[in-house]
Structures are given as structure tokens and as C-alpha cells.
């Protein structure tokens, strides 16, 4: 039984002392998280006070907040545990994306598994690890997307692609690709792809939803590539890497061509805008626009 399930049981059994002890344990965890700032697109950081966060588990929502009088907690039952969304056959545990804070943070969990990932991506949400244990869930107020009608290959890149010796393959080297992506050092705080993320996305790959796209050298070795989430007519790019110059550009161009030709997609989710992606035509839209696009995708 998890701590939160135990707290709920203690409340049901009218044992507030035991509930308070376990609540303090969770607050200690939150305070520990607050002491280690996260950087998300250079803007988001946790602080010891002034935040609230939700935890969804065992059919209950666990809300933690802080204010002038210190920490407080509330517990509420979710009727039926899951709620049916407008999409037929699709259920989800997550709050509505409109309840996210100014940075897009919805809540956190210890668990990360294919069922959670599937429901998250279908709901406009994606995970971001805080550390090796805790996963934060985001629905940012703005999202970078690439409409294929706006896709362009810069002239310098087009010339470069003609001279590259790479071949293209799809979904043949997923683990190698995600592990190479995990070794790419980011400007802010190293790689966000830790072992928990790798294990979850490997399982997601086995379930048929996480895909890799590879740029290969003539001897069959990896020159670069990218991976992402492919669900019906939706694709979210997660990360890319290159070992040889031009390999990530080659992989991106070939991936867009494949998604358009083989799956009939008209856009992809790039999550966060950057200079590299902007050169190929990505744009930034609001969360409301993104959710509408996802709904009609």
C-alpha cells in the first residue's frame, strides 16, 4: 500500500494521528524537492513556499499547498476513479489542462508507465523528470508545432543533404537512439532522459507508441536520429542526436516525409521552440489552439 492510500484509509477509519504522520512524510518530500530548482525552458523553478501541487493516486486527488500558515493538505475522492473524456473509449487520470499553473505544471507522480503516457499524450500533457524518482506533468501555456504545409528546408541544408552518405530507417534501433539522446548535454542542466524515462519509453515502444527514426552510415551504424510518440495521426518529437555532422537534419527531414507519406499526418508536436526547429518552419501556438488541433488531429 502506498503512503497516499494509507492516508486515505486512516481518514476513513477516523485515525487522524496516523494520517498526520504520513502527511508530514509527504510534506518532507515536497520540501526536499523545493530545495533543488528545476529549469524548464529557462523559466520554471520550484521554491520552498508559495506553490501548490496535486497528486493523483488510488482514485483520490491529494492537494498540497503552502501559505502564511504553513503547509496544508486536502483529500478528495474521485468518483469512479477515472472520468470518461469526449473521445470514445479514452479515459484519463489527469486534471484538465486548463488547471495547470502559469508554467504549465499539472502535478507529479512517482509512477511512469505506458498507460499513463498514452493518456497523457492524448490529453495534451507530457512528462518531465524532477529526479530519478519524481515525474512532473506539464501542459505548457504555449506549444511549438510544425505544420507540414509550413515545412521548409533551408537552402544550405538542402545542399548539405545532397552530399550526405546516410540511409534512413524507421523503428529499428529504438533503444540505441534513446540512449544516444540521453547522452546529449543540454545547456540548462544536462540530459533530462534518465533511466526511469528510458525504461518507460522502452515499454511504450514495445506497446507500439514510441518510435525511432534513424540516420545510418553505409556500414549500418548510427549517425544520428530522433525518437517520439506516434499515436494514430499524432506525432510528438521528444529528442534527437547526431554523431556525424548533418545527421539530425537528415533524420528530421526524412521523418517529416515519412509521417506525411506513410501515416497521412499534417503536423507534429515539437513541444518547445528553438532556433534549430524554427529554421524548418515550426511556430508557437497557445494551449487552447494546441488542444483544438489535437482534438481534430
Look at residue 84 in the predicted model and tell me its pLDDT. Answer: 37
| Contact between residue 125 and residue 139 where contact means Cβ atoms under 8 Å apart | yes
Handedness of CA 44, 235, 116, 180 (dihedral sign): negative
Look at residue 29 in the predicted model and tell me its pLDDT. Answer: 54
Residue 297 cell numbers, joined: 488531429
Residues 6+ away with beta carbon under 8 Å from 291 = 97, 124
Tell me the C-alpha distance between 292 and 269, whole Å. Answer: 13
CATH class of 143-296: alpha beta
Q: Which residues of 257-293 are buried (b: 16+ CB within 10 A; e: fewer)?
A: ebbbeeeebebbbbbebeeebeebbbeeeebeebbeb
- For the stretch 170-205, pLDDT in tens is 999 999 999 999 998 765 554 689 999 999 999 999
Tell me the C-alpha distance between 282 and 144, whole Å. Answer: 6
First and final CA of the chain: distance in angstroms?
39
Q: Return per-residue pLDDT of the chain as tens, 297 residues.
A: 455 555 545 554 556 566 566 566 655 555 544 543 333 222 222 322 333 444 443 333 333 333 333 333 333 333 333 333 344 444 456 888 998 888 899 888 888 999 999 999 999 999 988 778 789 999 999 999 999 999 999 999 999 999 999 999 999 999 999 999 999 876 555 468 999 999 999 999 999 999 999 999 999 999 999 999 999 999 999 999 999 999 999 999 999 999 999 999 999 999 989 999 999 999 999 999 999 999 986
Look at residue 186 in the predicted model and tell me its pLDDT. Answer: 62
Residue 20: how many other CB atoms lie within 10 Å:
13
Q: Name the pairing type of β-strands 135-138 and 210-216.
A: unpaired
Backbone φ and ψ of 58, nearest 5°: 55, 35
Look at residue 6 in the predicted model and tell me its pLDDT. Answer: 58
DSSP annotation of 149: G
3-state SS of 212-241 is: EEEEECCCCCEEEEEEEEEECCEEEEEEEE
Q: pTM (2 decimals)?
A: 0.72
CATH code of domain 3-141: 3.30.70.3550
Residue 125 cell numbers, joined: 500533457
- For the stretch 82-129, pLDDT in tens is 333 344 444 456 888 998 888 899 888 888 999 999 999 999 999 988
Tell me the C-alpha distance between 160 and 228, whole Å. Answer: 25
Residue 159 cell numbers, joined: 545542399
Handedness of CA 179, 207, 147, 84 (dihedral sign): negative
The stretches of the chain forming alpha helices (DSSP H) are 3-12, 16-34, 114-122, 155-163, 174-182, 195-206, 247-263, 275-278, 287-296
Q: Where are the domains of the chain?
A: 3-141, 143-296
Look at residue 180 in the predicted model and tell me its pLDDT. Answer: 97
| Partners of 240 in the β-ladder | 226
What is the average pLDDT score of the chain? 77
Amino acid at each position: 500500500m502506498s503512503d497516499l492510500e494509507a492516508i486515505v484509509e486512516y481518514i476513513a477509519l477516523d485515525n487522524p494521528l496516523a494520517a498526520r504522520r504520513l502527511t508530514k512524510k509527504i510534506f518532507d518530500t515536497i520540501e526536499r524537492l523545493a530545495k533543488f530548482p528545476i529549469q524548464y525552458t529557462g523559466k520554471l523553478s520550484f521554491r520552498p513556499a508559495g506553490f501548490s501541487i496535486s497528486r493523483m493516486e488510488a482514485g483520490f486527488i491529494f492537494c498540497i499547498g503552502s501559505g502564511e500558515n504553513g503547509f496544508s493538505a486536502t483529500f478528495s475522492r474521485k468518483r469512479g476513479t477515472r472520468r470518461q473524456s469526449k473521445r470514445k473509449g479514452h479515459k484519463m487520470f489527469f486534471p484538465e489542462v486548463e488547471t495547470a499553473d502559469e508554467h504549465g505544471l499539472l502535478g507529479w507522480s512517482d509512477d511512469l508507465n505506458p498507460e499513463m503516457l498514452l493518456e497523457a499524450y492524448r490529453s495534451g500533457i507530457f512528462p518531465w523528470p524532477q529526479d530519478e524518482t519524481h515525474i512532473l506533468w506539464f501542459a505548457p501555456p504555449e506549444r511549438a508545432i510544425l505544420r507540414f504545409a509550413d515545412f521548409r528546408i533551408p537552402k544550405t541544408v538542402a545542399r548539405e543533404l545532397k552530399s550526405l552518405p546516410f540511409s534512413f530507417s524507421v523503428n529499428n534501433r529504438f533503444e540505441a537512439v534513446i540512449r544516444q539522446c540521453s547522452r546529449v548535454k543540454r545547456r540548462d542542466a544536462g540530459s533530462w532522459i534518465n533511466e526511469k524515462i528510458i525504461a518507460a519509453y522502452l515499454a511504450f515502444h514495445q506497446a507500439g507508441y514510441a518510435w525511432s527514426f534513424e540516420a545510418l552510415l553505409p556500414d549500418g551504424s548510427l549517425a544520428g536520429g530522433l525518437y517520439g510518440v506516434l499515436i494514430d495521426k499524432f506525432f510528438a518529437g521528444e529528442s534527437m542526436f547526431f554523431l556525424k555532422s548533418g545527421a539530425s537534419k537528415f533524420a528530421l527531414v526524412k521523418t517529416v516525409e515519412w509521417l506525411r507519406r506513410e501515416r497521412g499526418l499534417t503536423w507534429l508536436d515539437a513541444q518547445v521552440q528553438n532556433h534549430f526547429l524554427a529554421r524548418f518552419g515550426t511556430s508557437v501556438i497557445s494551449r487552447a489552439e494546441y488542444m483544438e488541433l489535437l482534438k481534430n488531429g
